[in-house]
A and B are shown apart, each in its own frame.
Chain A
Amino acid sequence: MESHKYEPTNRAVKWFEDQLPILGLIHGTLGAGYKAPRNLNYWWNFGSLAGFMLVVQIITGIVLVMHYTPHVDMAFRSVEHIMRDVNYGWLIRYVHSNGASMFFVVVYIHILRGMYFGSYKSPREVLWFLGLVIYLLMMATGFMGYVLPWGQMSFWGATVITNLFGAFNFYDGMGDGILHLLWGGYSIDNPTLQRFFSLHYLLPFVIVGVVILHIWALHLPGSNNPLGIDAKGPGDKIPFHPYYTAKDAFGLSFFIVIFAIFVFYLPNIMGHPDNYMEANRLVTPSHIVPEWYYLPFYTILKAVPDKLFGVITMFSSILIFFLLPWLDGSKVRSAKFRPTTAFFFWLFLLNAIFLGYLGTKLPSAIIIHAGGGIDALTLGRISSVFYFSYFIVIVPLVSRMETTKPVPISIAQSVLDSRKGE
C-alpha cells in the first residue's frame, strides 16, 4: 500500500510539494493513491460524470455572462443576441441549457445508485447528507437559471415557485412580507431578476465547495460497491488511477455522445416553446409546467388541496431522503441480497416517473379512460401516498423483516467464485 504514496522524483516538484502538498492530495484523491473496490460497475461512473457536468455548466455559464444582460428590458433580447449574433453563442447556450438537464439525469442516477446499493448506510450517512445538500443547491440554481432568459415560462414559473413561500402566513401579512422580501417589489420584476442572476452565478461555486466535502467524506470509509460489503484486504481493492480513471473516461465518452445528440439534434426538447415569448405579466400561459426535473415534486404539491400543507408536503418529499439511513434498518447494504427491497425500489422508481408524467398534466385531465375516467389529480394523490409510504412504511418494515440472501465473505472471494461459475 505504502508504495503508492506520492513521492516526487523531480527535485523542483519535490521542493514545491514539501511546501504545499497539494499534488499528493490530488494523487490520494483521484490518482493512484486512492484505493477503490475492484468490483465497481458502471453505475459508479455517475459521480465523476456529475463532476464533469458541474465543470461544463460553470465554463459555459461564465462565457454566457459575457453576453447576457440581467435587466427586464434587455434580458430576453440579450439571449436572442447570444443565439443569433454571438459566434457559437447558440452552441454555448444549448450546451448550458441541455447541460442542466444532463446534470440532473446524471445526479438522479447517482442518487438511485446510492439507494439501490445502500451507499447511504453507515458509515456513509454524512456523505449521503452532503450529496443531498448538493442536490438541493442544484434545484435552487437550476430554478434561478431558468428565470434568467425572461421568457413566459421563466416569469410564470418564478411566480408560482416564489409564491410557495407565501404559504408561510402565520400572522396577517407575514406571507406577503416574505414575498416582498424575495421579490424586492410587489411582483416578480427587475430586482428579482438581478438577485436571481447574482445567486445563479454564486451557487455553483458553493456546490464546488460541498463537492469537495462530499469527496472528502467519501475517502474516509472509501467507496461502497455493488456487493455492499466492506473492502478489507489488498485483494479487494485496486488503485483509482489508472483503473477507474480509464473506466470513467470510457463511460464519459459514451455520455458525451448522448449529450451531443440533445445539443445538436433535439436542443429544445426539454424546454418549453412558451419560453421563446418574452415575459408578459398580464398573460399567464394556459398551462404552466416546471422543468422536467421538478415534475414529481410538482405533482405532490398539486395533490394536496391545502396551500400550506401542500408546500410542507412537497418540501418533505425531498427532506425525507435525509432520514433514509435510519428508516432502513437492514444489516445488509446492497439490494442484490435483499430481493424484496429491490422489488420495492423499482416500484418506487416507476412511481416517481409516473409522478413526473402526471406533473405535465392538468389536474382535471383524464388519464385512465376506463370506468368513468380517472383524472390526474386522483392518480397524483394515490402516487403521492405511495411515495411517502415507501419511506415511512415499506422501507422500515421490509428492511427489518426481510430474510437476506447469503453475503460473500469478501470482494475477492466473490470475484473468484463467479469465475468458477463460468
Chain B
Amino acid sequence: MTTNDQVEHGEDVTRRNFLYVASGVVGVVGVASAAWPLVDQLNPSADVLALSSVEIDLSTIQEGHTITILWRGIPVFIRHRTKVEIARAIAENADPMKDPENDQLRAQKPQWLIMIGICTHLGCVPLDNSRFQTGDYGGWYCPCHGSQYDISGRIRKGPAPRNLDVPEYVFLNDTTVKIG
C-alpha cells in the first residue's frame, strides 16, 4: 500500500512539475514577446534611419580652415589642412598615443581631414585650436573634460578613449565629397 501510494504520489509530482515548468516557460516567452515591442520602440524609427547622405562642395573652404556640417543630426568637421599641418601629422605618427593610427589612414586625401566632430569621451563638440588656442597638439580641444586631439584628430591627452571617428565618404570629383 505505502509503496503504491508513494509511486502514485511521485508520478503526480512529476506530472505537476512538468505542467509548472511548461506553463512557466510559455508565460515567460509570452511576456518577453509582449515586452519586446515596448523596448524596440525606443530604437531609431524608420524615418530617422532613412536619413540620406550629404554632398559637400569643398571649393569654398580656404586652406587652414575648418567647416562643420550636419550629417544625421551630428556635426562633421571638414578641415582643409596646410602643408605644415600635414607634415606635422605624419611626423607625429610614431609618437606615443592611446589609439595609435597613421595619419595616411585617416585622410583619403591628405589636405582634406573629414571626421565626426564628437568627442569620443562623452559626446561634446571639440573646439578648433586654430581659433581658440586651448591645446598643445594643434588640433582640437574638448571643453567638457579637457581631451586634446592632434591635427589628425587623434587623441593625445585627456579621458577620451578613441581618436575622432572618420565617417564613410567618397570624393565624387576634386571639389565634391559625399558623406554617408
Closest to A169 in B: B161
Q: In the complex where A184-B44, A186-B48, A307-B159 touch, is A159 in contact with B122 (Cβ < 8 A)? A: yes
Say yes or no for A189: interface residue by CB 8 A criterion.
yes
A182 and B159 within 8 A (CB): no
Question: Does A310 make an interface contact (CB < 8 A)?
Answer: yes
Binary per-residue interface labels of chain A (283-327) against chain B in the complex, 1 for a CB within 8 Å, 0 otherwise: 111111000000000000010111100100000000000000000
A residues 248-300 touching B (CB-CB < 8 Å) = 281-288
Q: Would you call A381 an interface residue if the criterion is a C-beta within 8 Å of the partner chain's C-beta atoms? A: no
**Min CB gap B74→A, angstroms:** 5
Q: How far is A180 from B159 in the complex, measured between Cα atoms in Å?
A: 22
Chief secondary structure at chain B's binding surface:
loop
Contact: B44 with A364, CB < 8 Å? no
A311 closest partner in B (C-beta): B122
Q: Looking at the complex, which one of B42, B70, B72, B122 makes contact with A184 (CB distance below 8 Å)? A: B42
Q: Are A288 and B143 in contact (CB under 8 A)?
A: yes
In the complex formed, the residue of A with least CB distance to B160 is: A307
Task: Tell me if A163 is interfacial: C-beta within 8 Å of chain B.
Answer: yes
Chain B residue with the shortest CB-CB distance to A180: B44
Is A366 in contact with chain B by the CB < 8 A criterion? no
Q: Is the CB of B68 within 8 A of A185?
A: no
Contacts between the two chains (Cβ within 8 Å), count: 87
For chain A, the count of residues having a C-beta within 8 Å of the partner chain is 36
Residues in A with CB closer than 8 Å to B125 are 281-284
Asked if B161 and A307 sit within 8 Å, CB to CB, the answer is: yes
- Tell me if A191 counts as interface (CB < 8 A to partner B): yes
B122 & A160 in contact (Cβ 8 Å cutoff): yes
Q: Is the CB of B73 within 8 A of A186?
A: yes
Contact residues in B for A362 (Cβ distance below 8 Å):
146
- B43 interface contact, C-beta 8 A: yes
Q: Give B145's nearest chain A residue, CB to CB.
A: A302
Task: Name the one of B42, B45, B48, B146 contacting A363, with C-beta atoms under 8 angstroms.
Answer: B146
Q: Is B97 an interface residue (CB 8 A)?
A: no
Cα A156 to Cα B75 with chains together (Å): 14
Whether B88 sits at the interface, judged by CB under 8 Å, is no
A50 to chain B minimum Cβ distance, whole angstroms, is 31
Partner among A182, A283, A288, A306 whose Cβ is within 8 Å of the Cβ of B42: A182
- 8 intermolecular pairs with C-beta atoms under 8 Å apart: A156-B124, A156-B144, A184-B43, A186-B44, A187-B73, A283-B125, A284-B126, A284-B142
**Interface set of A (CB-CB < 8 Å, partner B):** 156, 159-160, 162-164, 166, 180-187, 189, 191, 195, 281-288, 302, 304-307, 310, 362-364, 377
Q: Kindly list the 3 A-B residue pairs having the minimum CB-CB distance in the complex, ordered from nearest.
A: A163-B122, A163-B123, A284-B125
